[in-house]
Amino acid sequence: MSGLSVFSPGRDCGFCPRLVAYREEYRSLHPDWFNAPVPSFGPVKARLLVVGQAPGVNGANRTGRPFTGDVAGRLLYPALAKFGFATGTFQERPDDGLELTDCRITNAVRCAPPQHKLETSDKNHCLPYLAAEIAAMPDLRILLAIGAKAHHSILQALKLKPGRYPFKHGATHALENGLALADSFHTSQYNVNTGRITQEMFEAIVAQIRRSLT
Ligand code: SF4
């Protein structure tokens, strides 16, 4: 981390009893899985921060790397690689050797929620970690929200009014603090299967971010 540090939750963070109970259930069911708050991935001195909603229980909760192990990363990582934010080949495993360049990935909520459904209390409890994550990135220029919930958590973490910046897929908001916030529909299996988001649509957003950082 080049001397920088981020205030991150410990493996047994207990602020969300509902999520802790779910985590404990999975620790019993699958003791070989990660089953803990999923740490952020990528350099702190990056200009781009990708923010997801929460780990999937069979994805990042299993593997310990954001957007890794289920369908959610299948659009994200190849698009990042295509536009120079990642090197290597994404193989849905944390040991696939993929590295991020000028990009970091985190989640608004670090623990997997049951049925992948977040409650307001989950987001509120985990907000200090997201705020710390953003504050610890000295070169940050753009945040990419993967889904409306991530968008709202980012605004909350930055103490900005959501009404001023409505979520819209493909939009980039110039925030009053000088950062930019780009929006994408979530890259979930449901959204991919229903055609709500495609590789082409997602790549268009990453391409726009690349252009704005050059
Ligand atoms: S979701 Fe965040 S605040 Fe809640 S238990 Fe996990 S790490 Fe802690």
Return the best residue to mutate from 16, 117, 118, 123 for the ligand 1 pocket (most ligand atoms within 8 A of CB).
Answer: 16
- Residue 71 has a pLDDT of 85
Rounded distance, CA 98 to CA 76, Å? 12
Tell me the CATH class for 40-212: alpha beta
Query: How many angstroms separate the CA atoms of 165 and 123, rounded?
Result: 19
Give pLDDT, residue 3: 53
List all residues 6 or more positions away from 125 whose beta carbon is below 8 Å from its beta carbon.
15, 16
Distance 22 CA to ligand 1 centre (A): 12
Whether residue 1 has pLDDT greater than 50: no
Q: Is the pLDDT of residue 58 over 70?
A: yes
pTM of the predicted structure, to 2 decimals: 0.96
Task: Assess whether pLDDT exceeds 50 at residue 202.
Answer: yes
36: Cβ below 6 Å to ligand 1? no
- pLDDT of 171 reads 97
What's the chain's average pLDDT?
A: 95
Cα(128) to ligand 1 centroid in Å equals 10
Give the full edge-to-edge strand order of the sheet including 48-52.
Answer: 103-107, 48-52, 142-146, 180-184, 172-174
pLDDT value, residue 5? 72
